[in-house]
């Protein structure tokens, strides 16, 4: 797998914006990802803690692991009850058999999968699993397809897979949710996308203006200040054999 360094390293300078404008995950998706009876989990590639907060709310002890210092600094501030680690998925600073689940939210595609899987095997307690989740657009209306096409990372519907696993996931699930957003909110969110952030300034402005126009058109047509953008939280569970 080839990882674009410019995109992989684009998030730290946008950490505050990422925290403000990236959504979290629907409660039923989080519940599905957490093993019954779990007490301690690792949130790997945790970013600013969009999944971390939901895990803490469930009374779990959370090791939050993030390789970007800027992102981790925001996570430390927003979620002081998590145990923060400046670390990558390929070298987890956790003891063997120390967590009930390794959870990854919108980050698995950035990892070197073979090394990450080896670390997952090492730190999981017997019976634990790797849980993956991605938020992805689930367009129904024509304007939603248009909006998803503007986002270079947009994926229509729930047609994602979980690359790099040595065997098929033991379970998959998709959880629908709707995000009510204003034109400016959607553009602020889109600006934290790694593909958009890496664009030349003029091209980035053109993409954001196009996205703003789509949402503004829907708001004007409906007489509302927000537009409902449909999403899926697409989830996978994989358990080492």
Q: pTM for the complete prediction? A: 0.90
- pLDDT digit string, tens, across residues 151-203: 555 444 445 788 999 999 999 999 999 999 999 999 999 998 878 888 899 99
First and final CA of the chain: distance in angstroms?
23
> What pLDDT, on a 0 to 100 scale, did the predictor assign at position 198?
83
> What pLDDT, on a 0 to 100 scale, did the predictor assign at position 197?
83
CA distance 226 to 216: 8
Q: How many CB atoms lie within 10 A of CB 44?
A: 31
Give the SS3 label for residue 124: strand
Looking at 63-200, list the stretches that DSSP marks H as alpha helix, in order from N- to C-terminal side. Answer: 69-78, 113-123, 142-150, 183-190, 194-197
CA distance 101 to 170: 14
CA distance 88 to 97: 18
Of all residues in the chain, the percent with pLDDT exceeding 70 is 91
Superfamily name and number for 5-238: Vaccinia Virus protein VP39 (3.40.50.150)
């Amino acid at each position: 797998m080839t990882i674009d360094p410019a995109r992989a390293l684009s998030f730290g300078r946008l950490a505050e914006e990422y925290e403000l404008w990236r959504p979290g995950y629907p409660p039923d998706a989080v519940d599905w990802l957490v093993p019954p009876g779990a007490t301690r989990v690792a949130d790997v590639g945790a970013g600013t803690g969009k999944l971390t907060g939901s895990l803490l709310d469930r009374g779990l002890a959370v090791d939050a692991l993030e390789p970007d210092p800027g992102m981790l600094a925001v996570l430390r501030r927003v979620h002081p009850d998590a145990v923060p680690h400046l670390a990558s998925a390929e070298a987890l600073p956790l003891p063997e058999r120390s967590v009930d689940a390794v959870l990854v939210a919108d980050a698995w595609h950035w990892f070197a999968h073979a090394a990450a899987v080896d670390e997952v095997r090492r730190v999981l307690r017997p019976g634990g699993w790797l849980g993956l989740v991605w938020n992805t657009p689930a367009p129904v209306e024509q304007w939603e397809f248009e909006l998803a096409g503007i986002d270079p990372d947009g994926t229509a519907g729930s047609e994602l897979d979980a690359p790099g696993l040595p065997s098929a996931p033991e379970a998959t699930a998709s959880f629908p949710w709707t995000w009510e957003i204003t034109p400016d909110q959607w553009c602020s969110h889109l600006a934290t996308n790694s593909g958009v952030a890496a664009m030349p300034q003029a091209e980035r402005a053109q993409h954001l203006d196009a996205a703003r126009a789509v949402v503004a058109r829907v708001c004007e047509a409906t007489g509302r200040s927000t537009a409902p953008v449909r999403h899926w939280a697409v989830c996978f569970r994989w358990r080492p054999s």
